[in-house]
């Protein structure tokens, strides 16, 4: 599958690059970003952290705002940041123009409802197509971790628990932890998956963690001054209760005073990268 390089910037001794490619599962052209640490210049294969962003974001938000490249360069970790939904001519968007459904709001599911099922298959893209592409074209190993923020935190937790053989560890900032029971998730799941709530459970982290048999190392950070947490969109407490019921060893850190912004992520991203490297080494 051909890649087109559209930008290239040296940073932290490594390289931040953006690529476009044709996605077969999304039936459109897609863009992703990759940070290649300096260790790859000598041909060394490095592990990969897949980063999933939140509502309205693209591949650029995390790469430009989180300040992750310096520590990733030190630790010898590549970072891959995909887009948050299919895009381009012919890709459906919410006719109401809302920010929480359609473009920029793929929710990392495989849509089953028309017309969304023509393009909105982000689950298959993240689990299969994108890693295969990255591993075929870049000096990376088959060691993978996954992380994300908000809608992307939902995606990271859900994908990791459904595919524990593919990832060494998972972490999240401010994840939508129980989408079946919050307004954002209910809107997205109804649109993409239909009204049968039984089909929603396969994409709900609180449901998955309650029944998980293989237990990955998991780290979650949640800010106490996050308006979306206060309003009930994130439901961190539901994830914590479900994990406790299944004796799932998740570390949930309530970070006093922090909100939903990239200031929060920039503060604690080093912790998350070191957490993943610890489990790569195991």
Classify residue 182 by its DSSP letter: S
pLDDT digits (tens, 9 = 90+) for 69-103: 999 999 999 999 999 999 999 999 999 999 999 99
Q: Does residue 230 fall inside a structural domain?
A: yes
**Number of domains making up the chain:** 1
Q: Does residue 71 fall inside a structural domain?
A: yes
Q: Does residue 282 fall inside a structural domain?
A: no
pLDDT digits (tens, 9 = 90+) for 99-131: 999 999 999 999 999 999 999 999 999 999 999
Task: Please name the helix (run of DSSP H) or strand (run of DSSP E) that holds residue 268, with its range, or none.
Answer: helix 262-281
Q: Does residue 74 fall inside a structural domain?
A: yes
Catalytic residues: 150, 226, 260
Q: Indicate the pLDDT class of residue 134, thresholds 50, 70 and 90.
A: very high
pLDDT digits (tens, 9 = 90+) for 218-229: 999 999 999 999
Which residue from 32, 43, 42, 128 is spatially nearest to 79, judged by alpha carbons?
A: 32
pLDDT digits (tens, 9 = 90+) for 168-203: 999 999 999 999 999 999 999 999 999 999 999 999
Task: Please name the helix (run of DSSP H) or strand (run of DSSP E) that holds residue 60, with its range, or none.
Answer: helix 60-65
What backbone torsions phi and psi does residue 254 show, to the nearest 5 degrees? -90, 115
Yes or no: say if 72 and 47 are a contact pair by the CB < 8 Å rule.
Answer: no
CATH number at 54 reads 3.40.50.1820
Q: Does residue 215 fall inside a structural domain?
A: yes
Q: Does residue 58 fall inside a structural domain?
A: yes
Classify residue 202 by its DSSP letter: G
Q: Does residue 281 fall inside a structural domain?
A: no
Task: Please name the helix (run of DSSP H) or strand (run of DSSP E) that holds residue 33, with its range, or none.
Answer: strand 28-36
Q: 12 burial class (0-12, 13-18, 19+ CB within 10 angstroms)?
A: middle
Q: Does residue 261 fall inside a structural domain?
A: yes
Does 47 have pLDDT greater than 90?
A: yes
Confidence (pLDDT) at 119: 98
Confidence (pLDDT) at 49: 98
Q: 281 burial class (0-12, 13-18, 19+ CB within 10 angstroms)?
A: exposed
Cα–Cα distance between 109 and 129 in angstroms, integer? 14
Q: In whole numbers, what is the pLDDT of the chain averaged over residues?
A: 97
Domain that holds residue 179: 1-276
Which percentage of the chain shows pLDDT scores above 70? 100
pTM exceeds cut of 0.85: yes
Tokens 């001519």 belong to residue: 89
Q: Indicate the pLDDT class of residue 12, thresholds 50, 70 and 90.
A: very high
């Amino acid at each position: 599958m051909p890649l087109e390089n559209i930008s290239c910037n040296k940073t932290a001794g490594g390289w931040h690059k953006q690529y476009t490619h044709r996605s077969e599962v999304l039936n459109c052209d897609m863009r992703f970003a990759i940070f290649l640490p300096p260790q790859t210049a000598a041909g060394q294969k490095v592990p990969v952290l897949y980063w999933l962003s939140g509502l309205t974001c693209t591949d650029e938000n995390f790469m430009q705002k989180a300040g992750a490249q310096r520590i990733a360069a030190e630790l010898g970790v590549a970072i891959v940041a995909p887009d948050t939904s299919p895009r381009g001519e012919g890709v459906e968007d919410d006719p109401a123009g809302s920010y929480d459904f359609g473009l920029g709001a793929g929710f990392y599911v495989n849509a089953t409802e028309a017309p969304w099922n023509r393009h909105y298959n982000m689950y298959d893209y993240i689990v299969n197509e994108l890693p295969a592409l990255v591993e075929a074209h870049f000096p990376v190993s088959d060691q993978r971790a996954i992380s994300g923020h908000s809608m992307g935190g939902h995606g990271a937790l859900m994908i990791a628990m459904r595919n524990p053989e593919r990832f060494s560890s998972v972490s999240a900032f401010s994840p939508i932890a129980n989408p079946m029971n919050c307004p954002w998730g209910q809107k997205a799941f109804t649109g993409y998956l239909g009204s049968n709530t039984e089909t929603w459970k396969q994409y709900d982290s609180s449901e998955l963690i309650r029944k998980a048999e293989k237990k990955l190392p998991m780290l979650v950070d949640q800010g106490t001054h996050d308006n979306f947490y206060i309003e009930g969109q994130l439901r961190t407490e539901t994830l914590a209760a479900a994990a406790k019921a299944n004796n799932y060893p998740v570390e949930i850190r309530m970070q006093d005073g922090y909100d939903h912004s990239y200031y929060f992520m920039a503060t604690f991203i080093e912790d998350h990268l070191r957490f993943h490297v610890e489990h790569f080494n195991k």
